[in-house]
Structure 1
Amino acid sequence: MKYLAGFFALFLLLSCKTSSEGTPEPKKQTIKVMSYNIHIGNPPSKPAGEVDLIATAKAINGEKPDLVALQEVDVHTTRSGATLHQAKELAKLTGMHYFFAKAIDRSGGDYGVALLSRFPILSSSVHALPVEDGSGAELRAAGIIEVEFAQGQKLVFVSTHLDHLTDKNRELQSRELMRVLAPFAQSPIIMGGDFNMDPQNKNWSLYQEGFKMGCGDICPPTFPAGRPITTIDYILLNKAAASRFTVKDYYTVSERYASDHLPLVAVLEFEN
């Protein structure tokens, strides 16, 4: 009889580990997201034009992220190297896929944002972000990719860089971002970027309906890297992403050489 009782105990234990349909319970998994303004690969302590992408890649590889939003990226510019495609080179150094989103012509080449992904990129697009006429500010851009982060599960990943000069320009750019991303609202959207505004900036009200900050109420300072005192870099989640993922950790990486910004990381948990 004791053997029979043991059999039933084992049966009940196994039953608890499966759903009513007989399928295994969902497993908790994580993806790691990074946002990093790389200062065109030019360490602030070095002369202009001296590029050290090895240091940039080291900062990225040290965290082993699945998705990286990069800002201030040069492609074939005379100031950084006419033959150097920074996004492509960083993809090579990190073993990731890449997409470059051009914002403007610069120094005989291109300048903008980029995205790195451990997952194959299913689709990609670039969208210009406007500035006020006569402001003298440079146009900015948002790069958007779609990836399958788990079997049958996709998300939209965005890298952007807003104007550093005026709130009006950031307002225009934020409104355009919300317009561009509206068609993706039913999908999880994760956005990393240098927004050039602190957490109290009035323009965050433009994001409140659709997005939330991954950092919640306490956002770590990200700039300047040597002595960070202000928060201008963020990782945001839209409503669909916030319901799909739980923010398990959100922190800056203490890398002070490679750029004037600290790398920013969010660890997101989901059930698969």
Structure 2
Amino acid sequence: MFPRILNPQNMLFLLSILFLSTSSAARNKLNDTINSVVEIKVISYNIHHANPPSQPDSIDIDAIVRVIKDQDADLVALQEVDSGTERSGEGNQAAMIAEKLNMYFYFSKALNFNGGEYGNAILSKYPIEEAETHPLPNDPEADTEDRVMATGKIRLPGGNKIIFASTHLDYKANSPSRIRQLKRILEIVEKMNLPVILAGDFNDVPGSETIDLLTSAFRLSCNNCPPTIPVIAPSRAIDFIAYKHPQQKFSTKAHKVIEETYASDHRPVFALIELLK
């Protein structure tokens, strides 16, 4: 028998079916690619106990809240947070900020101070699991403040789990404590066996021993990192967001220093980080 010859109408119909099938497959592939990426908006902010430098006797929690809300942050690392101190008044500042933003929080005390407590905090849109405070060492000869790192396990949309951490390293010039503290941080996160986003006030600049040690294990969210202090006409970058992933599935989509000059003596840092599933 001779093969049946399709008339033009049948040929057009078959081509339409083939086109629709191919287009559907392409759309599904595109959707799979889109759904395999999670975007995480992260802020690191030394809030100076919510004291605007231009208003020495004022506490302005709402100013800190506005900064975070304007960026619609998913994860926030706070430093210099007061809880029940005489200078800041009653209440835990991390709790107050989180309540206004409808976020989860964990406060991590570094030391007793001024009738209350002082330390770091993490805020998250998503529940914080296994939150912990990790004391960081000082040099035995150093007369300086105690420091800690706050960590929490975060389950992101899609089921990915990461560790989010906030820290504030020693402030003194040429500080041997700062190096001890960062070495301890690297030891802690190495044992966690999860992707880590670490943010905070590292009190040192790119090219220093401190930041070189940090970047030996982490990748910063910035290249040629813009300065964060002083808040007016900033000249030094000391506040950073960094990340590490066992399969190198983190990448930076955007990084900026937010041009906010009222709420704190530091400018906040924002990063949009992509996580490939």
Mapped to 2, the partners of 1:246 and 1:152 lie a distance apart of 18
Conserved 8 A contact 1:26-1:271: no
Higher gyration radius (CA): 2
RMSD: 1.6
1:55-134 alignment runs, 5 A limit: 55-81=63-89, 83-134=90-141
Query: 2:199 matched to 1:189?
Result: no
Q: Which has the higher strand share?
A: 1
Counterpart-to-counterpart distance in 1, 2:137 and 2:55: 32
Instruction: Give the secondary structure class of the aligned counterpart of 1:246.
Output: strand
Q: Please give the alpha-carbon distance, in whole angstroms, between the structure 1 residues aligned to 2:61 and 2:93.
A: 8
Aligned equivalent of 1:263, options 240, 264, 268? 268
Tell me the CA shift for residue 25 of structure 1: 4.2
**Aligned pairs for 1:15-34 within 5 A:** 15-18=25-28, 24-27=32-35, 28-34=37-43
In the alignment, the residues of structure 2 paired with residue 29 and residue 178 of structure 1 have an alpha-carbon distance, to the nearest angstrom, of: 25
**Equivalence map 1:1-272=2 (5 Å):** 1=10, 2-18=12-28, 24-27=32-35, 28-48=37-57, 50-81=58-89, 83-165=90-172, 166-184=174-192, 186-216=193-223, 218-240=224-246, 243-271=248-276
CA distance in 2, matches of 1:238, 1:228: 28
2:246 match: secondary structure: helix
Q: Distance in 1 between matches of 2:214 and 2:33?
A: 35
TM-score by length of 1: 0.92
How many pairs were matched up?
A: 264
Extract unaligned runs of 5+ from structure 2.
1-9
| C-alpha deviation, 1:30, in angstroms | 1.4
Equivalent pair of 1:17/1:25 in contact (CA under 8 Å): no
For 1:251 and 1:228, locate their aligned partners in 2 and report how far apart those are by CA, in whole Å.
Answer: 13
Helix, strand or coil at the partner of 1:197: coil
Report the alpha carbon displacement of residue 111 of structure 1 after superposing the two structures with TM: 0.4
Give the letter for the 1:264 counterpart: V
TM-score by length of structure 2 reads 0.91
Aligned-pair CA distance for 1:254:
0.8
Which runs of 4 or more aligned residues in structure 1 lie more than 3 Å from their structure 2 counterparts after TM superposition?
Answer: 23-26
User: How far apart, in 1, do the equivalents of 2:214 and 2:179 lie?
Assistant: 10
- Structure 2: how far apart are the matches of 1:136 and 1:206? 23
Contact 2:178–2:210, Cα closer than 8 Å, also in 1: yes
* SS in structure 2 of the partner of residue 77 of structure 1: coil
Q: Deviations over 1:168-215 (max 9, x none)?
A: 01111111111111112x311001100000001112332333211111
Letter in 1 for 2:50: G
Indicate how the Cα distance of structure 1 residues 271 and 238 shifts in structure 2: closer, same or farther if over 3 A, else same: closer
- How many Å separate the matches in 1 of 2:211 and 2:239? 13
Which stretch of the first structure deviates more once superposed, 218-227 or 204-213? 204-213
Listed one character per residue, the Cα deviations across residues 96-143 of structure 1 (whole Å, up to 9, x for unaligned) are 100000000001111000010001112200011111123210011100
What is the letter of the counterpart of residue 71 of structure 1? Q
Determine the C-alpha separation between the residues in 1 that align with 2:175 and 2:183. 12
